[in-house]
Chain A
């Protein structure tokens, strides 16, 4: 692979044009969109290499066909039978080995859609030619999203992310090996650090929902396992290798604890507990969010939900300073109190007509109560008025750049409740504030919140974000194991589609139609750290390797906090911590290494 390294360096140093690697062949049709190149002896092409060929047209400028290698094949020419290979290798039968590469054209410049001519020399693109082939030259605002197979940065057009021309990212892949969360976080990091935000940097926020363990609670700590190779990757991408500079972390309150401590095990400081008071719950009519399918028209009891929510608001008033809510003579301090009250009201003969609706039958009321009681267990920790009032308990993205909300300790129903409410609140806040700033919302397991089947308030909120978020400045970064199980419109509205390691059965579904056949096959064997990124300008998704996280993903990796104090909530505008781990970068050689190789037996949780 010495040659590969050399090629990488040559391209990295911006040399152009590249070396000839072969010629357009004529035994397969060459078309303006796809052609094959026979590789000359002593040269090679690998998947994802960028290749250029030129054709001079009479009376016109020379047309440059640029493309990406999407298939490479080698075969014995002169062999007729499979067993001829033994004769050939024994020196009995003369034959030649010929390699050919399929080039999927990414750009024809100028736009004269003529095929390249068989026999025309094809060369590896480097420097400006590579940038032009991949449209990097036309990207006014570009975000580095990793290194290509050739070791040179690959960019994302920010116009298709910030709402100017498109928005939203959809990341799919198998849990555990697809590194979905890591890549999404790296993209966030890159967006915040590469300078593309310009004047909007201060007002641009990220809201990250953490649903799998406490991996995301250390984003503000440098990763002590980041080695020189990793730092070199960050240097090549033009990014500092360090943690997220401004992070606020929220977690639900510890169960059975009446002091309002956050329920996290790995991290002791800088985590803020969050909950909603019963007064908020009643005043803002949050009851529908407690039901998974509250807006499903096929369900009778949804009428009861709306009616009860309305009654709770109209017939009650705040009590005390801790957010309790008084209805008639009863003071509601816990969710159980509320459930008891509602149960009384909808079952008692004299109040049922008012609270459950005039013509509601007992069966429908029971269906409502059954669901309410099962929700009670999940929401008891989150909706309460038995904790001392605290200003910081409201989740807000105001005070810091990245807001992490830890949901992994919550049951699924409670997770949906939190996500739904926070998204609604942020959507309303953004609607009021206007599109001047951006909010990136990162949600894992999107199939839970916006499933293809059924309907719910959370799904409605997500659909709203998917469809209007572009104009509101809310960018959805959704991750899911299977895009086929997520609401079509949510996935469909994503301008940027990313795929990590895919299950072979999943890879065959139509949601991945944007991947060429060979990339679908490759996606089933993709290593951690390799993603295929499709963006609107490029007809071929690009294979990207993103560097090892520069921020800690677990306590064992966490270096000392980079600034005075911790990553506590409310330290707005902290921008220290860039210097962490910068010394020693650029020392790694140009050789291509698996960025995740340093931890073969202990992969980071993705």
Chain B
């Protein structure tokens, strides 16, 4: 028997979610954007100059504490211990986003922003101030869904990431730069020269013949561009980053570009990712999600996590504040 070990750390699963491999997405996929579906083949890396500046945007989030917001006075006997409370769940979270600008021989961190918040749907909630930090109220809509708080946090994080990306574009960026956003593009489709970088493949967008092409890509090769239409439209392509030969989808990332742009612009972007991204691909002993977790993004996440502050300290502060409240 011959077998290969998936390069990702087991804790992260694999880049290819096995349960979903066969579950083809309901999204409409247009394969004929670059070449007709019948003539799909690997696109070799062209010889074009790399952009002078590459910007990487990413954010991190951390739940500092789960809290219960009391919805009124204690029922029953005061300190007697028999009393119960009505309470609503909430989370106190810290989240941050930032930009790494890789220009020439230097990679610099900039535009980092750390925010915190109390996410809850409780109507009587206010912000929390502790000795070490402030958690302003970020109200979540009480729609009963179990992950409403997490989604609210994710929404806020996306907003910070968006701010960071726009800031990077305005302050650092140059006319020929490339902005790489970690994860799907989502609402940032209006930013020019921007690609989303998806590391984990949860859905199969390509039908059989084209799907097999992905596994046969070599380093820095990509599939032709295709158009995905769900609730919003975006262009996409698969790209293989350099990594040891092994698992079929090892080192494969899916890039996204805004569906609003022209095909020429998208093809230009796809070409650029072939030139740029392999350079930043991480090496397996340095990153648990190599090579898809790019060096600048890993560095950025490490730094952002550090800037979130010490979790134990923040937790203690919240405990102290709850007693005092």
Query: Complex Cα distance A92/B276, Å?
Result: 11
Query: Complex Cα distance A578/B103, Å?
Result: 63
Q: Does B197 contact A (CB under 8 A)?
A: no
A92-B286 in contact (CB<8A): no
Interface string of B101-114 (1 = CB under 8 A from A): 01111111100000
Known contacts A80-B286, A81-B286, A88-B107; is A95 also within 8 Å of B299 by CB?
yes
With most chain B CB atoms within 10 A of its CB, the pick from A81, A84, A88, A91 is A91
Which residues of chain B have C-beta atoms less than 8 A from A90's C-beta?
105
Interface string of B208-225 (1 = CB under 8 A from A): 000000000000000000
CB contact list, B278-309 vs A, under 8 A:
279-280, 286, 295-296, 298-300, 302-303
Query: Complex Cα distance A94/B105, Å?
Result: 11
Residue of A nearest to B56 (CB): A94
Q: Does B157 contact A (CB under 8 A)?
A: no
B299-A89 in contact (CB<8A): no
Q: Contact check: which of B103, B104, B107 meets A93 at CB < 8 Å?
A: B107
Q: Does A361 contact B (CB under 8 A)?
A: no
A93-B303 in contact (CB<8A): no
A91-B106 in contact (CB<8A): yes
Q: Does B100 contact A (CB under 8 A)?
A: yes
Which residues of chain A have C-beta atoms less than 8 A from B286's C-beta?
80-81, 84
Residue of B nearest to A88 (CB): B107
Known contacts A80-B286, A81-B286; is A94 also within 8 Å of B299 by CB?
yes
B105-A89 in contact (CB<8A): yes
Which residues of chain A have C-beta atoms less than 8 A from B105's C-beta?
89-91
Residue of B nearest to A96 (CB): B109
Q: Does A87 contact B (CB under 8 A)?
A: yes
Interface string of B100-131 (1 = CB under 8 A from A): 10111111110000000000000000000000
Interface string of A92-107 (1 = CB under 8 A from B): 1111100000000000
Question: Distance (Å) between the CB of B288 and the closest chain A CB?
Answer: 12
| Residues of chain B at interface, number, CB under 8 A | 19
Question: Distance (Å) between the CB of A162 and the closest chain B CB?
Answer: 57
Interface string of A328-366 (1 = CB under 8 A from B): 000000000000000000000000000000000000000
Question: Distance (Å) between the CB of B274 and the closest chain A CB?
Answer: 17
Which residues of chain B have C-beta atoms less than 8 A from A78's C-beta?
299, 302-303
Which residues of chain A have C-beta atoms less than 8 A from B295's C-beta?
87, 92-93
Query: Complex Cα distance A87/B298, Å?
Result: 12
Interface string of A470-499 (1 = CB under 8 A from B): 000000000000000000000000000000
Residue of B nearest to A87 (CB): B295
A93-B106 in contact (CB<8A): no
A94-B109 in contact (CB<8A): yes
Question: Distance (Å) between the CB of A253 and the closest chain B CB?
Answer: 74
Interface string of A584-597 (1 = CB under 8 A from B): 00000000000000
Query: Complex Cα distance A96/B108, Å?
Result: 8
Which residues of chain B have C-beta atoms less than 8 A from A84's C-beta?
286
Query: Complex Cα distance A92/B279, Å?
Result: 8
CB contact list, B61-102 vs A, under 8 A:
100, 102
Query: Complex Cα distance A94/B56, Å?
Result: 11
Which residues of chain B have C-beta atoms less than 8 A from A81's C-beta?
286
Interface string of A458-472 (1 = CB under 8 A from B): 000000000000000
Query: Complex Cα distance A84/B102, Å?
Result: 15
CB contact list, A531-586 vs B, under 8 A:
none
CB contact list, A76-133 vs B, under 8 A:
78, 80-81, 84, 87-96
Which residues of chain B have C-beta atoms less than 8 A from A88's C-beta?
107
Query: Complex Cα distance A335/B118, Å?
Result: 103
Q: Contact check: which of A80, A92, A95, A96 meets B280 at CB < 8 Å?
A: A92
With most chain B CB atoms within 10 A of its CB, the pick from A80, A81, A87, A93 is A93
CB contact list, A60-88 vs B, under 8 A:
78, 80-81, 84, 87-88
Query: Complex Cα distance A93/B56, Å?
Result: 11
Residue of B nearest to A89 (CB): B105
Query: Complex Cα distance A78/B109, Å?
Result: 11
A94-B303 in contact (CB<8A): yes
B300-A94 in contact (CB<8A): yes
Residue of A nearest to B106 (CB): A91
Question: Distance (Å) between the CB of A39 and the closest chain B CB?
Answer: 19
Query: Complex Cα distance A78/B296, Å?
Result: 11
With most chain B CB atoms within 10 A of its CB, the pick from A80, A87, A88, A96 is A87
Query: Complex Cα distance A570/B103, Å?
Result: 78
Query: Complex Cα distance A95/B102, Å?
Result: 11
Query: Complex Cα distance A289/B227, Å?
Result: 106
Residue of B nearest to A95 (CB): B299
Question: Distance (Å) between the CB of B26 and the closest chain A CB?
Answer: 38
Which residues of chain A have C-beta atoms less than 8 A from B109's C-beta?
94, 96
Query: Complex Cα distance A87/B283, Å?
Result: 11
Query: Complex Cα distance A515/B299, Å?
Result: 41
A91-B104 in contact (CB<8A): yes
Query: Complex Cα distance A201/B202, Å?
Result: 93
Which residues of chain A have C-beta atoms less than 8 A from B296's C-beta?
92-94
CB contact list, A364-401 vs B, under 8 A:
none
Query: Complex Cα distance A88/B102, Å?
Result: 10
With most chain A CB atoms within 10 A of its CB, the pick from B100, B280, B299 is B299
CB contact list, B113-168 vs A, under 8 A:
none
Question: Distance (Å) between the CB of A83 and the closest chain B CB?
Answer: 8
Residue of A nearest to B105 (CB): A91
A94-B108 in contact (CB<8A): yes
Which residues of chain A have C-beta atoms less than 8 A from B303's C-beta?
78, 94
Which residues of chain A have C-beta atoms less than 8 A from B280's C-beta?
92
Query: Complex Cα distance A89/B298, Å?
Result: 16
Query: Complex Cα distance A353/B286, Å?
Result: 91
Residue of A nearest to B298 (CB): A93
Query: Complex Cα distance A573/B140, Å?
Result: 97
Question: Distance (Å) between the CB of A78 and the closest chain B CB?
Answer: 6
Query: Complex Cα distance A90/B299, Å?
Result: 14
Question: Distance (Å) between the CB of A79 and the closest chain B CB?
Answer: 9
Known contacts A80-B286, A81-B286; is A91 also within 8 Å of B102 by CB?
yes
With most chain B CB atoms within 10 A of its CB, the pick from A89, A92, A94, A96 is A94
Residue of A nearest to B294 (CB): A92
Which residues of chain B have C-beta atoms less than 8 A from A94's C-beta?
100, 102, 107-109, 296, 299-300, 303
Question: Distance (Å) between the CB of A87 and the closest chain B CB?
Answer: 6
Which residues of chain B have C-beta atoms less than 8 A from A95's C-beta?
107, 299
Query: Complex Cα distance A94/B108, Å?
Result: 5
Which residues of chain A have C-beta atoms less than 8 A from B302's C-beta?
78
Which residues of chain B have C-beta atoms less than 8 A from A87's C-beta?
295
Which residues of chain A have C-beta atoms less than 8 A from B100's C-beta?
94
Question: Distance (Å) between the CB of A84 and the closest chain B CB?
Answer: 8
Query: Complex Cα distance A351/B296, Å?
Result: 100
Question: Distance (Å) between the CB of A543 and the closest chain B CB?
Answer: 35
Residue of A nearest to B302 (CB): A78
Which residues of chain A have C-beta atoms less than 8 A from B108's C-beta?
94
Residue of B nearest to A77 (CB): B303
Residue of B nearest to A84 (CB): B286
Interface string of B31-42 (1 = CB under 8 A from A): 000000000000
Question: Distance (Å) between the CB of A115 and the closest chain B CB?
Answer: 21
Query: Would you mind naming 28 contact pairs between A and B with Cβ atoms under 8 Å apart?
Result: A78-B299, A78-B302, A78-B303, A84-B286, A87-B295, A90-B105, A91-B102, A91-B103, A91-B104, A91-B105, A91-B106, A91-B107, A92-B107, A92-B279, A92-B280, A92-B296, A93-B295, A93-B296, A93-B298, A93-B299, A94-B102, A94-B107, A94-B108, A94-B109, A94-B300, A94-B303, A95-B107, A96-B109
Apart from A91-B102, A94-B300, 18 more pairs, CB < 8 Å = A78-B299, A78-B302, A78-B303, A80-B286, A81-B286, A84-B286, A91-B103, A91-B104, A91-B105, A91-B106, A91-B107, A92-B280, A92-B295, A93-B107, A93-B296, A94-B108, A94-B109, A94-B296
- 9 cross-chain pairs, A with B, having the tightest CB-CB distances, nearest first: A94-B107, A94-B299, A94-B100, A94-B109, A91-B102, A91-B107, A93-B295, A92-B295, A93-B299
A residues near B, CB below 8 A?
A: 78, 80-81, 84, 87-96
B residues near A, CB below 8 A?
A: 100, 102-109, 279-280, 286, 295-296, 298-300, 302-303
